[in-house]
Every structure is written in structure tokens, then in C-alpha cells.
Homo-oligomer: A and B are copies of this chain.
Amino acid sequence: MGETRRFDPEALRYDAAGLIPCIAQEVGTGEVLMLAWMNAEAVARTLATGRVTYWSRSRGDFWVKGETSGHVQELVELRVDCDRDCLLALVRQNGPACHTNRRVCFYTAVRDGAEVELMAPEA
């Protein structure tokens, strides 16, 4: 406890593609909103700007969450796991986090071998 050291985004453990998974959690409610990926520069930009910035694997470019939709994620605190190969971003999510317009991406539950949709898209 109280032990500190300088945080260096380059000193995290990235996969072969230079990426690390980041879980976004709503700070007020504890909801797990989504998981996306960051490279070292996305981690640095997230900390510098306070806006959660991922690396889009499909577009091959930085992805400032909400830049086009307005559904930004304000960073409250970034946390690192014991193996330094996963991040947890505590955020304030504006609007739905999911591209389907649902509050969270994890809206499908597995119950008795069937998929059950828990949540409708927001209006």
C-alpha cells in the first residue's frame, strides 16, 4: 500500500499486434460497458486527454470513443492488472456504450442453453 512508481504506457505487456485489452466500467453503477483494445499511444492519449481512446482493429486507426456518435467516455481512473496485460478504465459513459445503441455491449445472456436478449436499443 502506498507504494508508487512512474507509469509508462510502453511498460505494459502488449500482444503480438501491440495491443492490450481494456475493459470500460461505469464508475457510478459498476456496469461493465464494453471491452476494446489499445496500443501504447492510445493509452497515452487516453491519459493525456481524459477521453477514452482505443485502437480500432477493423479500421486500423485510433478510435476516440464517441467522436462521431457523441457517446464519449470520460476517464475517471485507469487501472492495470497484476500481469500488466489488461486495463480497466473507470468511466462516465455519455449515452449508450454499444454501437447497437444499447447501454452496454453485454446484452445477451446464456440461460438454459439459449441466448436471451436482456436490453433493447435506446430510443
Q: Which residues of A contact B (CB under 8 A)?
A: 1-7, 21, 23, 25, 29-32, 34-35, 47, 77-83, 86, 88, 98-100, 102, 105-111, 113-120
Contact = CB atoms under 8 A, between A and B. Distances in A.
Given A1-B117, A6-B115, A86-B105, A110 B32 contact: no
A32 B32 contact: yes
A83 to B, nearest CB: 7
A48 B117 CA distance: 21
Contacts of A81: 34-35, 105-106, 108
Contacts of A106: 79-81, 86, 88
B105 A5 contact: no
26 contacts: A1-B119, A2-B116, A3-B117, A4-B114, A4-B116, A4-B117, A6-B113, A6-B115, A7-B110, A7-B113, A7-B114, A30-B31, A32-B32, A34-B81, A47-B110, A77-B109, A77-B111, A79-B109, A79-B110, A80-B115, A81-B105, A81-B106, A82-B99, A82-B100, A82-B102, A82-B108
